[in-house]
Amino acid sequence: MESTATSPGEASAQLSVNDRPFKVGDRAVHPGHGVGEVIALEGRDFGGSKHTCYVLKMVDTGLKVMVPTSAVKRVGLRAVMKKRAAEGILDILRSKEVAVDAQPWNRRLRAYTELLKSGAPDQIAQVLRDMYRLKFDKALSFGERRLLDQARSLLVHELALAKCVDRVAIEAEIQQIFAT
């Protein structure tokens, strides 16, 4: 068996990508849209070739997203994290580290955007943690507020599902973490 070295973010992203097929009714996490429910499997014709696609209805927005079954890994579609992983995410929020060192704002914004685009819950949690901390130090710029809102929306619903609690409880827990 061949082993390759990966960074912590890459390792969690590799472990969280789902190798088993989703079924109708399963919940899945799309890296750019958050938690969705698989509502159908449909055949589609893309450029003359037939593909089977998962049709996801995003929980927060009601948006329908199609992901070809052959592109699940490439897109980053994954199962909702387990309760133990959710506790690890909350530990990241509690940590005193900073994901992106002080740099000019445009480089910092780009680095945080890349962390969000990864779709990895641990990296999204780092963005949420850093934006909340920055919010207490100064008024956030439009871009920073957008990052905070996006990170929050991507994480809160998944954490609530993983811990089997409602979203309000997760929001309160996050508020309490940053109030200390």
Q: Where are the domains of the chain?
A: 8-79, 83-179
The CATH code of the domain at 8-79 is: 2.40.10.170
- Rounded CA separation 26/47 (Å): 28
Using the predicted structure, report yes or no on whether residue 16 has a pLDDT greater than 70.
Answer: no
* 83-179: CATH superfamily: CarD-like, C-terminal domain (1.20.58.1290)
Three-state DSSP at 68 gives: strand
pLDDT of residue 17: 41
Residue 154: predicted pLDDT: 92
| pLDDT > 50? residue 39 | yes
- Averaged pLDDT for residues 51-62: 92
What is the pLDDT at residue 1? 33
Q: Among 147, 154, 152, 158, which Cα is nearest to 174's?
A: 152
**Model pTM score:** 0.81
> ∠ CA 52-58-64 to the nearest 5 degrees?
50
Distance separating alpha carbons of residues 5 and 129, to the nearest angstrom: 27
Residue that wins the pLDDT comparison between 2 and 61: 61
Cβ–Cβ < 8 Å for 33, 63: yes
Please determine, for residue 104, whether its predicted confidence score (pLDDT) is greater than 70: yes
**Whole-angstrom Cα distance, residue 19 to residue 8?**
20
Q: What is the mean pLDDT of residues 21-28?
A: 93
Q: What's the mean pLDDT in 155-173?
A: 94
> Same fold for the domain at 8-79 and the one at 83-179?
no
Identify the pLDDT of residue 101.
77
Which carries the bigger pLDDT value, residue 169 or residue 9? Answer: 169
Residue 7 is predicted with a pLDDT of 35
